[in-house]
Amino acid sequence: MKVWQASNGELRRILEGHVFDVNCCRFFPSGLVVLSGGMDAQLKIWSAEDANCVVTFKGHKGGILDTAIVERGRNVVSGSRDGTARLWDCGRSACLGVIADCGSSINGVAVGAADNSINLGSPEQAPSEREVGTESKMLLLAQEDKKLQCLGLQSRQPIFHFIGSDAFNCCTFLSGFLLLAGTQDGNIYQLDVRSPRAPVQVIHRSGAPVLSLLRFRDGFIASQGDGSCFVVQQDLDYVIELTGADCDPVYKVATWEKQIYTCCRDGLVRRYQLSDL
């Protein structure tokens, strides 16, 4: 992994230690620490200041495909090709439990604060005192077997599951009850956790896989396997296209204030500056 100075593209750090591909990485809220997951089934925490790997979590039996950070980052969640989602204690570098065992690859995970109207269920056992900030949170899992599953993060109890048109690649929360999930055949489902049987709407711009979804201001950003990347604003009506990737898949999108960053199979990280929308 490489850490860049965003303002000028200068390479600041190289984080080395994973074997095989690094599938996902994100900063902790502090901005000083990085969480990564790889095909070596390891989850690692790094100092962005000196490039040291400070913690390695082991326990998954397949590559880690996505992660989520719970509140300030005392706990993190990982989703893996082994079909499990796990909760980890960063301070003691220990697994606090298997939240879900789906029997199918978990391609995307998201953690969100639940609206008060949603019944998250009660845990069968008292949670560990090492669990911090898991109460009143939902965990969303995008699965290879066409299922989208939502659970209470602390209770481990199911809230709903939804069957899509194809494998789910990615998911994100828009609010305490609205969520988005993207499929391999190009559908973006908007669902309401309070009545999840039928989607609020399905957005379909092309048949290319939806690879990344990210909440942004009043809407979201999506990227697809045909190189398209677009910003949907307000009531999901107003769309801005981000150009440049041509036909190479755009794997991931990140934002910082008015700037959008994309990473593409062509080996480039692109930065877009948005004026006031």
H helices of the chain, in order, are none
Q: What is the mean pLDDT of residues 90-104?
A: 95
Average predicted confidence (pLDDT) for the chain: 95
Rounded (10°) CA dihedral 253, 257, 258, 264:
-20
Nearest C-alpha neighbor of 209 from the set 192, 191, 190, 228: 228
Is the domain spanning 209-276 CATH 2.60.40? The answer is no
pLDDT in tens, 116-162: 999 999 999 999 999 999 999 999 999 999 999 999 999 999 999 99
Spatial strand order in the sheet of 229-233: 210-216, 219-224, 229-233, 238-242
Q: Read off the tokens for 261.
A: 């960053």
Q: What is the mean pLDDT of residues 251-266?
A: 94
pLDDT in tens, 185-239: 999 999 999 999 999 999 999 999 999 999 998 899 999 999 999 999 877 677 8
pLDDT at residue 252 is higher than 70: yes
Indicate yes or no: pTM above 0.75.
yes
Residues of each domain in the chain carrying CATH 2.130.10.10: 2-204
The pLDDT value recorded for residue 23 is 96
With cut-offs at 50, 70 and 90, classify the pLDDT of residue 244.
confident
pLDDT at residue 277 is higher than 60: no
Residues of each domain in the chain carrying CATH 2.40.10: 209-276
**Which amino acid would we find at residue 202?**
V
DSSP letter (8 states) at residue 243: P
The pLDDT value recorded for residue 5 is 92
The CA distance from 8 to 106, in Å, is 35
**Which amino acid would we find at residue 180?**
L
CATH topology of domain 2-204: Methylamine Dehydrogenase; Chain H (2.130.10)
Share of the chain above pLDDT 70, in %: 99
Strands (E), 48-103: 53-57, 64-70, 75-80, 84-89, 94-101
